[in-house]
A and B are shown apart, each in its own frame.
Chain A
Amino acid sequence: MKKFIFNSITVLFLISTGSVIAGEISVGSVTPLTGKLAVYGEGFQQAMLLAADEINAAGGIKGNNLKIVFEDNNSTSKGSVSAIRKLITIDKLPLIFGPASSSNFLAVCPIAQDNKTILLAAESAAAAITKCGSYVFRVFPSDLLQGVGVAELTNSLGYKEVVLTYVNNDWGVGLAEVFKAEFTASGGKIIDELPHGEGKTDYRSEILRMKRHNPKAIVNLTYIKEGATILKQAYETGLNVQWLMGSASKSPKLIDLAGKASEGVIGTYPTFSQETPQYKTFKAGWEKKYPGKKTPVFGEYNYDMVKLTALALESAASDSSDDIRDALIKVSQGYIGTTGDKSFDESGDVNASYGRWTIKDGSITDYK
């Protein structure tokens, strides 16, 4: 019995110090495997494992197998903090895939940065992540890029003069700044610009102000609840314009709340082509490993994140986080993954291309 316990402890010790075992290179991942995001977490994990399998089948990294140490965060910020502390202090991993949802990700950012541990995001969009620090990267486009996307949309629809309204917080103000710069640079004119409060139930005064200028189009950079309330009350006050919105309001909930007042809204959202050879390889790999299963939400981003990490580990001069970080920036330049160009800029963000959505007959469809 004693021997059994001793052996078990030895085995456990060997497992938990994965990065030490010869023939294996380990990276960490804080993933929501329980809690309210667990429905997504399972898909993220499967996509990451698919990428790891492909890497290992192709000879691994410098002859070693890539291993991802998953740590559950119970879908909470608190759970994410304890999970990343374990991965950094006990497993001593130089690179960690961060948790989904921007607030959970932002909770672990300072810890990774302080410990000089590389942190990657595959599904967090908040603009604040850009400022997290030099060890933080994401393969998912920042919300700020949407400002550019909406400006391009406005131009291509031929609207030269618009009223701009945005939710009055860091995210909304930042997004509006980007839109304004981009739109005015291309010759557009903003007739009036007004912030609207977050979570209010009455936007009639704001709507009246928008209406005063008789605009043909209104750019409304906001969330779902605020967006729906504005659309509804604008409809009631007879304001008939073309609404242009971002991806934060793209949700069936918008239609639930605003009803027919949401008909005809046009917006942008980050997207990628499903016709590229990279995507087809991913799709084929997925169908082989998980037959009959649909590709998960953000699965492509998780897949790209692992693939890019493997390239960085392969070309890094040593296994120190600084060397891996330098290698990561280098290999990302011009790297085309499943979700497009993943070249990191100086703040660790990637570029994106945008698709267009509209609401037609009570459902969200692609705008053509």
Chain B
Amino acid sequence: MTAYYAQLLVNGIIAGSIYAMFAVGLAMVYGVFKFINFSHGELITWGAYLTLMFSSPPFSLPVYISIVPALLITVGIGLAQDRFVYRPLRQSNPIAILIASIGLSYMLRNGIRLCWGSDLHTFDLPLSTGILLGGVYITKIQILMMLSALLFFCILYFLLTRTLLGKSLRAVSDNIELSAIMGINMKKVTWTIWVLASVFAGSGGILLALDTSLDPMMGMNSLIKAFAAVLLGGAGNVWGALIGGLFIGIAENLSVAFISPDYKDFISYALIFILLLFKPRGFFGIAGGVR
């Protein structure tokens, strides 16, 4: 019986680390540009599909190599989103940007359908039984998922606290006008945010696809969880997003012990409602900004 709950907990941590990777980009973009990027989910999907493309004919690269060009193109998509849609709209009203991001999300998702169809795809990885650790099964991909999330967040921590770029990023999110007056290179900061958001989303998408499979809706479905994580952590708070993601992953997986598994998404949606009603700034969103 303990093995059962331990397995639920491990499943929760795995799911949570991926949610956190999706949430961090969303939180950063919100922290600096003050809008919710609905097309963030599509960076997840494109990352995964591009890896599939480079690992199948005519490219036929090994999966671990295909990740490189796939992530580069995903970053390109992220930067293009900003250059061609969000930057021209930056001074217009927030609703316009919101609607634009929803439109962009549809466009990118249907682009996936156009190129690869709506059918389910999988990476042809050899199937093997997971490793048994103290009654808990865990696959190699799942271990990789947790390690990647850990590594990514460590790098992010050093970037934000130990480098000038990171410090200017945090300054910009505190006050964008003042930072510009103080001579912070806004172009570089904007660029960094989109690169980080795209790399986190794209890598998370690839890992998720390796663990399960690919379909055009995978980004959209994960985005809802990422929203919940961001709300929980406090909009704009990177560390809040990490803890929020883990919390949601663990909560919904532990809920399986009590409610039918098919309704476990209920937990993340219920959390969104409760938080918006009682704690609209999240648990860590005391001061906002990228921290």
Chain A interface (Cβ within 8 Å of chain B)? 168, 194-197, 199, 201-206, 208-209, 212, 225, 229, 232-233, 235-238, 257-261
Residue of A nearest to B140 (CB): A236
- A16 to chain B: closest CB distance in Å? 40
Residue of A nearest to B265 (CB): A197
In the complex, what residues of B have CB within 8 A of residue A199's CB?
120, 215, 217
Instruction: Using A209-B261, A237-B137 as known contacts, list a sample of 8 further A-B pairs with CB atoms less than 8 Å apart, ordered by residue number in A.
Output: A197-B262, A199-B120, A201-B212, A208-B11, A208-B261, A235-B129, A236-B130, A257-B122
A236–B137 CB distance below 8 A? yes
B218 at the A/B interface (Cβ < 8 Å)?
yes
In the complex, what residues of B have CB within 8 A of residue A208's CB?
4, 7-8, 11, 256, 261
Report the Cα distance A203→B253, complex, angstroms.
11
B260 at the A/B interface (Cβ < 8 Å)?
yes
Q: Which of B127, B139, B212, B262 contacts A195 (CB 8 A)?
A: B262
Q: List 30 A-B contacts (CB under 8 A).
A: A168-B262, A194-B262, A199-B215, A201-B208, A201-B215, A201-B218, A202-B15, A203-B261, A204-B11, A205-B8, A205-B11, A205-B253, A205-B261, A208-B4, A208-B11, A208-B261, A225-B120, A229-B120, A233-B212, A236-B127, A236-B128, A236-B129, A236-B139, A237-B129, A237-B130, A237-B137, A238-B137, A257-B120, A257-B122, A258-B127
Within B1-41, which residues are at the interface with A (CB < 8 Å)?
4, 7-8, 11, 15
Report the Cα distance A236→B126, complex, angstroms.
11
Report the Cα distance A201→B48, complex, angstroms.
14
A205 with B137: in contact, given A235-B127, A236-B130 (CB under 8 Å)? Answer: no
Report the Cα distance A201→B7, complex, angstroms.
19
A196 with B212: in contact, given A201-B218, A236-B137 (CB under 8 Å)? Answer: no
Within B156-211, which residues are at the interface with A (CB < 8 Å)?
208, 211
Leading 8 A-B pairs by shortest Cβ distance = A201-B212, A205-B261, A205-B256, A206-B261, A237-B137, A197-B262, A225-B120, A201-B213
Report the Cα distance A195→B259, complex, angstroms.
11
- A304 to chain B: closest CB distance in Å? 33
Residue of B nearest to A195 (CB): B262
A205 with B264: in contact, given A225-B120, A260-B127 (CB under 8 Å)? Answer: yes
In the complex, what residues of A have CB within 8 A of residue B217's CB?
199
Residue of B nearest to A199 (CB): B215
Report the Cα distance A217→B120, complex, angstroms.
27
C-beta contact mask, B262-281 vs A, less than 8 Å → 1, else 0? Answer: 10100000000000000000
Q: Give the number of chain B interface residues (Cβ < 8 Å).
A: 27
B132 at the A/B interface (Cβ < 8 Å)?
yes
Report the Cα distance A260→B215, complex, angstroms.
22
B11–A196 CB distance below 8 A? no
Report the Cα distance A258→B120, complex, angstroms.
12
B129–A196 CB distance below 8 A? no
- A77 to chain B: closest CB distance in Å? 17
A194–B260 CB distance below 8 A? yes
- B203 to chain A: closest CB distance in Å? 17
Residue of B nearest to A259 (CB): B127
A229 with B212: in contact, given A208-B7, A236-B127, A259-B127 (CB under 8 Å)? Answer: yes
Report the Cα distance A194→B259, complex, angstroms.
10
In the complex, what residues of B have CB within 8 A of residue A235's CB?
127, 129
In the complex, what residues of B have CB within 8 A of residue A196's CB?
261-262
In the complex, what residues of B have CB within 8 A of residue A204's CB?
11
C-beta contact mask, B135-146 vs A, less than 8 Å → 1, else 0? Answer: 001010000000
A261–B127 CB distance below 8 A? yes
Report the Cα distance A203→B15, complex, angstroms.
12
Q: Which of B11, B132, B261 contacts A238 (CB 8 A)?
A: B132
Report the Cα distance A91→B213, complex, angstroms.
50
Report the Cα distance A311→B256, complex, angstroms.
57
Q: Which of A168, A202, A238, A261 contacts B212 (CB 8 A)?
A: A202
Report the Cα distance A197→B137, complex, angstroms.
23
* Max chain B Cβ within 10 angstroms of own Cβ: one of A197, A205, A235: A205
In the complex, what residues of A have CB within 8 A of residue B262's CB?
168, 194-197, 206
In the complex, what residues of A have CB within 8 A of residue B8's CB?
205, 208
Report the Cα distance A235→B208, complex, angstroms.
18
In the complex, what residues of B have CB within 8 A of residue A202's CB?
15, 211-212
Residue of A nearest to B1 (CB): A212
- A292 to chain B: closest CB distance in Å? 34
